[in-house]
Amino acid sequence: MNQSTLLEVRNLRKLFPLKKAGFWEAGDKHVHAVDGVSFELNRGEVLALVGESGCGKSTLALTLMGLETISQGSIVFDGQDITHLKGPALRTMRQHIQMVFQDPYESLNPLMTIGQLVAEPLVVHRLVRSKAERADRVHRCLEDAGLKPAEAFVNRFPHELSGGQRQRVVIAGALVLEPTILLADEPVSMLDVSIRAEILSLLADLRVKRGISILFITHDLGTAAYFADRVAVMYLGRIVEIGPTREVLANPAHPYARALLSVIPVPNPRQRRERLILRGDPPDPIDLPPGCRFHPRCPIAQAVCREQDPVLQDVSRGHQSACLLQT
C-alpha cells in the first residue's frame, strides 16, 4: 500500500446463501454476488466500476458501506482494517464514506424538507452543537451542490424539485459529513440526458475542490469515460479488466471489455461500426461455469478457457486484464 492509496480492497467475496428449494435439497448453494474483487482507490481519484446489471457492482458498494456483511476478504481504509467493524466504530467509519444513490425519486423521504434531509447526517452523528451551526453547514453544502440560493430550497419538499435538483440534494446530504470517499451508484442513469452532464460536472468539481475520491458505479462505459481516471470492468462478480481510462478505451484487452466498448452508442451516424454483440444473458451467478466465467459468451474462447480460471495479469503499466488468451 503506497502513500496515495486511500482504500484498498483485497479479494472481497460476498456470497448470499440460497434458500432451500425443497425439504430434501441440500442448502449449500450460493449466489456469488462478489467473488474475489481486489482494487485500490487513490486519494482524489475517480475510479469507475463498469458492468451489466447483476455483475455485483451494487453489492460491492453496499459491502464497502458496511451495509452488507463480508463473506471473505478485507477492506483497508486509510491504513486501518475496517472489514469487521461493528457498532459505534462502524458508524464513525461511515462518516468517511458516503453514498449517492441511483434513484433520486426514491432516496429522499417524501415527508421531510430539503433542510431536514441534508441536516440528517449531522443529527445522526450528533456533530453540531447549535441550530445556527447546523443551518450554516446545510446552507454551505446545498450551495456547494449547486442549489443556489440555499434559502429557496431548505423549506421545500422533495416532490417540489426536479430529478436533477433531487440528485443535488442527495449529494449535498452526502457532503455534509465531509467524507473522503463518495460512492456514486449510477447517479445519473435515472435523469434526462440534458441534465446528466451537470450532475457529472458537479461531481468532478467536488473532486477538485474538496479532494474527494469517487467510486463511480455505472453500466455505461460512455459516461465513465468522461470523468473517470481509471476504469474497472466487472463481469459476474469479478474485475476482468482494470486500468487508466484512456488506456482501457484505446486498447481493451479483455474480450468482454471490447464487446462492451463496441456497443456503446456513438452519436455520430457516420461512425456506425462493427459491433460485437454478445449473445444471451450473463450466466446465473449460482452455477458458475467452470474455467473462465466469460467463456460461454466469449467470441474467441478456446478449449483452455473451459478449464483454467484466469487471473488479472499486467497488459501494460497499471493496466491489467484477466484473459488466458491475451498476448
Partner 1 sequence: MPAAFADAPLLLDVRHLSVDYVSRGQPAAHAVDDVSFVLREGEILGLVGESGCGKTTLMLSLMRLLPSAGRIVAGRVDLLGRDLLSLSEKEIADVRWKEMAMIFQGAMNALNPVRTIGDQISEVIVRHNIAGNKAVLDGRISELLELVGIPANRKDQYPHQYSGGMRQRAMIAMALACAPLIVIADEPTTALDVMIQAQILELLLTLRQKLGLAVILVTHDLGVVAEICDSVLVMYGGVTAEYASVNTIYNNPQHPYTQQLLDAFPDLSNPSDRLTSIPGYPPRLDALPPGCRFAPRCSVAFERCHHEQPPLYQLSQFHLASCHRVESE
Partner 2 sequence: MTVQIKVTSIGGFWETFRHSGIGVVGLIMVVIAMGLAVFAPWIAPYNPKTPVRVSIEDIYARPSSEHWLGTDDAGKDVLSNFIFGARVSLTVGFFASFISIVIGGMIGIVAGFYGGKIENLLMRLTDIMLVIPDLPLAVVLVALTKPSLLNIIFVIGILGWTGTARLVRSQTLSVKERKFVLRARAIGAGNLYIIRRHILPLVLPLMVANTVLVISLAILNESTLSFLGLSDPTTLSWGQMLNFAFTRGGMSAGAWWALVTPGFGIVWVVLGCTLLGHGLEQILNPRLEAHHLSVGAEMVARPTGPDGGWAREGEST
What's the min distance (Å) between Cβ of 144 and partner 1?
A: 18
Residue 231 β-bridge partners: 48, 243
Binding track over 230-249 against partner 1, x by CB under 8 A: -------------------x
Single-letter amino acid, residue 65: M
Nearer to partner 1, 282 or 310 (CB): 282
Q: Which does 208 bind (CB under 5 to 8 A by kind): partner 2, partner 1, none?
A: none
On whether the CB atoms of residues 241 and 232 are closer than 8 A, the answer is yes
User: Is residue 219 a contact point for partner 1 (CB under 8 A)?
Assistant: yes
Residue among 26, 268, 274, 327 that touches partner 1 (CB under 8 A): 268
The rounded distance, in Å, linking the Cα atoms of 140 and 167 is 16
User: Which helix (H) or strand (E) segment is 169 a member of?
Assistant: helix 163-175
What's the min distance (Å) between Cβ of 54 and partner 1?
A: 9
What's the min distance (Å) between Cβ of 163 and partner 2?
A: 7
What's the min distance (Å) between Cβ of 81 and partner 1?
A: 34
How far is CA 292 from each of CA 94, 131, 218, 265, 307, rounded to the nearest angstrom? 36, 57, 23, 28, 7
> What grid cell was written down for 28?
449449500
Q: Considering only CA atoms, which of 58, 51, 63 is closest in space to residue 10?
A: 63
Residue among 24, 277, 287, 303 that touches partner 1 (CB under 8 A): 277
Q: Provide the sign of the torsion angle of the four alpha carbons 248, 254, 258, 261, taken in this order.
A: negative
Stretch that binds partner 1, among 14-22, 80-88, 114-122, 269-277 (CB under 8 A): 269-277
Phi-psi region of 318 (alpha: psi -120 to 50; beta: other; left: phi over 0): left
Q: Which does 286 bind (CB under 5 to 8 A by kind): partner 2, partner 1, none?
A: none
Residue among 93, 135, 225, 288 that touches partner 1 (CB under 8 A): 225
Q: Which does 320 bind (CB under 5 to 8 A by kind): partner 1, partner 2, none?
A: none
Q: Which does 94 bind (CB under 5 to 8 A by kind): partner 1, partner 2, none?
A: partner 2
Binding track over 279-308 against partner 1, x by CB under 8 A: x-x---------------------------
> What grid cell was written down for 306?
473451459
**Residues within the interface to partner 2 (CB under 8 A):** 65, 67, 90-92, 94-95, 98-99, 101, 103, 105-113, 115-116, 120-121, 124-125, 155, 157, 159-163, 165, 170, 173, 177, 189-192
With 0-12 CB in 10 A as exposed, 13-18 as middle and 19+ as buried, what is 98? Answer: buried
Question: What is the SS3 assignment for 109-156?
Answer: CCCCCHHHHHHHHHHHCCCCCCHHHHHHHHHHHHHHCCCCCCHHHHCC
Q: Considering only CA atoms, which of 10, 53, 70, 69 is closest in space to residue 236?
A: 53
Residue 40 β-bridge partners: 8
Restricted to residues 131-190, the positions that interact with partner 1 (CB under 8 A) are 162
Residue 7 β-bridge partners: 41, 77
What's the min distance (Å) between Cβ of 101 and partner 2?
A: 6
Nearer to partner 2, 169 or 305 (CB): 169
The answer for residues whose C-beta is within 8 angstroms of residue 124's C-beta and 6 or more apart is: none
Q: What residue ranges bind partner 1 (CB under 8 A)?
A: 52-53, 162, 192-198, 200-201, 219-223, 225-226, 249, 259-261, 263-272, 275, 277-279, 281
